[in-house]
Chains A and B, each alone.
Chain A
């Protein structure tokens, strides 16, 4: 990790910590991009939050000796991870505090301002989160103001280690990486109740949000279209090139799917919830007719119906081998699925009842009693979907895993954005879809198996930020990110210069971030004596010549200069 602690103001009330890599800029390198400097602005009062003096034992690489110090170190660690991945000439200021928030509230973070139509803005009439706007403008558009507001709970028991070994606790570093990403640009501002833009203008996140049903980006839609798109489950994708290119490296093949194939009037992919009991979806894949289950009305049970599946089915022979369609309510999910399994159903669809008509398909918990008797994969759908299936004839459906599609992407490898029905406030659209596998940092939930890596092949958060305008630190300007560059400070001079002797040979890149000149310097450092160095250079230049990288005369020029380097 190149980021380092640089300074901290002595005031206990408003300490400021700076985190950034040391400036290592190659003198004549073009397009140099330094790591963003993150400034943690501690606004806690003395004795609380970041300044809490309660003694704490070191944990998971966090060497702080007080609770407050450990919190600051965890914050700084998360900031350093982003610092290593983003470049900006303008420091990113995070106004941070730990306060006693209400029970169950872990914290909050977001941008303090947005900007549009600044010098350097790639798109006019488009909002950018202030930290990104500053980066693109190359100047602080709001001097003296902070960029991200972060407020976390001082009463919640976070895991403060830096190693990700959080056990049953919530990993503060992962939480911070997620919330900082929202503040850096991973969120959109259009209203999800009206569809209207923020103060009349789209944001840069909107420009990469594609609704595949209508074929329009959110920045091209009417308010009504955006409103409809916000709940177009499975059909809103991120089509930025950075994310799309890395989807195959991150998401696994095999997308769980509930799709009605016929009749055409209701055909399509449906949002679904999963069950904690019974076989998982795709085990096995089921393609069959959808048959509404009919059971007896349970005596003495208020609200009991013939569609709730709470009793053995009267039409078991019709259900056998098919997909049983059951209405929610009257008994537990596992009871319904058990009755369907007893009837020989190949799969089960449970749809919301009237009382949950506006609710999303639920996640279905078992009861510990009936679970073991469920032999059919079971999913839930919303009421509208269930009624559509119940009201149509000749319904056939697929419930399974599509092995040609990656979990969390569409068939064209565009990452799916979270767009459930019903809409769930700002969480819709401002996260990746929960069907993603592997789990992603920017799903709505902070899943326990997240790493602290924000980039492919582990994650796609950085790639999305890249799509909206963030770029990576590149000290030598060779287009290789510093943390993937075999030499972050390459000799990028146009010709190979050996100990002051200009060979005149073009100094090519070798495809890993290193140049020919870098390689010669590396060999010099590794050589025990001058003879072995000269010999190694002879061998190297022969290889380069054989590979067509240099001509015979150029090989001689390099060897001649190397021979003079003592």
Chain B
């Protein structure tokens, strides 16, 4: 395998990881949360209900993946001009959450971390 092909393979792998980020984060998420308020509109009845354990796990994994702010491990590259670039590794983005109200409207909040998102959605960390 040529150097270019190796790099291409690494790049393709990295892209696959990036696309699957929520799933990967779900597997690695160390924190377990439980719901304290109804935040799901039931598709059958249209009424508000508590999220299932699976739904809580999924939302925690998604916020963790999309809102990550790694302090370490970010890669800097210096160009010949002296410009320095830093890849943010898919993190540092705003994550927009919504929670339904009884009157049928939605409240939204733009968060950047799991902790803030969990607080907004009424998810509390379970003591292991």
Contact status of A105 and B95, CB under 8 A, knowing A425-B112, A427-B109, A427-B116: yes
Question: Which chain B residues border A301 with CB–CB below 8 Å?
Answer: none
Interface contact B94-A109, CB-CB below 8 Å: yes
Q: How far is the CA of A101 from the CA of B93 in the complex (A)?
A: 15
Partner of B87 from A101, A112, A156 at Cβ < 8 Å: A112
Which A residues lie within 8 Å of B98 (CB)?
104, 106, 156, 170
Q: Does A161 reach chain B (CB closer than 8 Å)?
A: no
Tell me the minimal C-beta distance from B104 to chain A in angstroms.
5
Q: Is the CB of A168 within 8 A of B104?
A: yes
Q: Of A104, A110, A119, A198, which is within 8 A of B93 by CB?
A: A110
A242 within 8 A of B: no
Known pairs A110-B92, A170-B106, A179-B94; A102 contacts B62 (CB<8 A): yes
- Given known pairs A105-B62, A109-B93, A170-B98, the reply for A445 and B55 (CB within 8 Å) is no
Chain B residues contacting A198 (CB-CB under 8 Å) are 74, 86
Are A104 and B112 touching (Cβ within 8 A)? no
Residue of B nearest to A45 (CB): B19
Q: Give min CB distance, A148 to chain B, whole Å.
A: 9
Contacts of A430 in B (CB 8 A): 94, 112
Which one of A116, A178, A448 lies within 8 Å of B84 (CB-CB)? A116
**A 150-190 contacts with B by CB, 8 A:** 151, 156, 168-170, 175, 178-179, 182-183, 187, 189
**How far apart are A51's CB and chain B's nearest CB, in angstroms?**
15
Q: A104-B99, A119-B83 are in contact. Are A113 and B88 (CB under 8 A)?
A: yes
Q: How far is the CB of B36 from the nearest CB of chain A, in Å?
A: 13
Question: In the assembly, what is the distance between CA of A141 and CA of B85, in Å?
Answer: 8
A103 pairs with B83, CB closer than 8 A: no
Residue-wise, chain A 429-459 has the 8 Å CB interface mask toward B (1 for contact) of 0110000000000001110100000000000
Report whether B81 and A175 are in contact in the complex, using a CB–CB cutoff of 8 Å.
no
Q: Does A10 contact B (CB under 8 A)?
A: no
Contact with A along B33-65 (1 / 0, CB 8 A): 000000110000000000100010011011100
Mask for B64-88, Cβ within 8 A of A = 1, else 0? 0011010100101001011111111
Beta-carbon contacts of B96-123 to A below 8 Å, as 1s and 0s? 1111000111111111111110010100
Quick one: closest A residue to B58, CB to CB?
A102
A117 lies within 8 A of B116 (CB):
no
Residues A106 and B96 in contact in the complex (CB < 8 Å), given A113-B88, A168-B104, A424-B116: yes
CA distance A283 to B110 in the complex (A): 31
Q: Is the CB of A111 within 8 A of B110?
A: no
Beta-carbon contacts under 8 Å, A79-114 to B: 101-114
B67 lies within 8 A of A425 (CB): yes
Closest B residue to A424 by beta carbon equals B116
- Please, which residue of chain A has its CB at the minimum distance from the CB of B39? A104
Q: Which residues of A contact B76 (CB under 8 A)?
A: 199
Q: In the complex, which residues of chain B have a beta carbon less than 8 angstroms from the beta carbon of A196?
A: 71
The residue of chain A having its C-beta at the shortest distance from the C-beta of B106 within the complex is A170
Q: Which residues of B contact A109 (CB under 8 A)?
A: 93-94
B99 contact set on A, CB distance < 8 A: 104
Question: Which residue of A43, A127, A425 contacts B116 across the interface (Cβ within 8 Å)?
Answer: A425
Instruction: Give the complex CA separation of A99 and B111 in angstroms.
Output: 19
User: Chain B residues with Cβ under 8 A from A182's Cβ?
Assistant: 93-94, 110
* Bound CA–CA A508/B107 (angstroms): 51
In the complex the two chains form, what is the Cα distance from A422 to B6 in whole Å? Answer: 47
User: Does residue A560 face the partner (Cβ distance < 8 Å to B)?
Assistant: no
Give B residues with C-beta under 8 Å from A. Answer: 19, 22, 39-40, 51, 55, 58-59, 61-63, 66-67, 69, 71, 74, 76, 79, 81-88, 90-99, 103-116, 119, 121
Known contacts A103-B40, A106-B98, A115-B85; 17 further A-B pairs (Cβ under 8 A): A102-B22, A102-B62, A103-B51, A104-B39, A105-B96, A106-B108, A109-B94, A113-B88, A116-B84, A130-B85, A141-B83, A149-B90, A179-B96, A182-B93, A187-B92, A198-B74, A425-B116
List 18 A-B pairs, Cβ < 8 Å.
A110-B91, A110-B92, A111-B93, A113-B85, A115-B86, A116-B84, A117-B84, A118-B79, A118-B83, A141-B79, A170-B98, A175-B108, A179-B93, A187-B92, A199-B86, A427-B109, A427-B113, A446-B108
